[in-house]
Amino acid sequence: MSISARNVFKGTVSAIKEGPINAEVEITIAGGDKIVAVLTDTSVKSLALALGKEAVAVIKAPSVTLLSGTPEYRFSARNQLHGSVSHVAKGAVNSQVNVALPGGAVVIATVTNDAVAEMELRDGMPVVALFKAGQVMLGVPL
C-alpha cells in the first residue's frame, strides 16, 4: 500500500472504549508507544477492530504539533509522544522535523521555518509530538 501520509505506524489494538456514537481505540506500536484514535462505532464494526488485532495508525505530518521546553499549560491533545529531534529538513516555507521515540519509531511533523527558528529545533533536542485523537485514521489488513 502506498499512502501520502508521512506517519504510518503498525501495531496492535490494545484497548477499545466504545460509546453510543464514537469509540476510542488505542494502538500499541513498536517499542510500546501508544496512539489513540477516535472513530465512529460504525467504523469499529466495519474494520472488525478487536483486542490484539493488527492495525495501522495514520497521521498526516501537518497534524503534528511540536512542544519543547517546560510547558506552562496542559494540552487536550490525547496523543503526546515524548522523543527527540533526529532530523530537520528545511524547505522554502516549511520544514520536516523527524522526532525519534525511545522505542524506535519516528514521528514526522511539518512545521513552519519560523517555528523551527523560534523553537531553535536541532538534532538531539527533546520534544513532545502532539496530535489529537480525531486526526488519527486506522486501517486493518485485508
Is 7-59+132-139's fold the same as 61-131's?
yes
Average pLDDT over residues 102-128: 96
Average pLDDT over residues 34-63: 97
Which residue, chain included where needed, has cell 464494526? 45
pLDDT on residue 73:
86
Strand residue runs (E) in 2-114: 7-18, 22-29, 34-40, 54-59, 65-68, 79-90, 94-100, 106-112
Is the CB of residue 138 less than 8 Å from the CB of residue 86? no
pTM, 2 dp: 0.93
Domain 61-131 has what CATH class?
mainly beta
Residue 1 pLDDT greater than 70, yes or no: no
The CATH classification number of 7-59+132-139 equals 2.40.50.100
Helical (H) or strand (E) element with 131: strand 126-131
pLDDT digits 0-9 by tens, 84-93: 999 999 999 9
Average pLDDT over residues 66-79: 89
Residue 14 pLDDT greater than 80, yes or no: yes
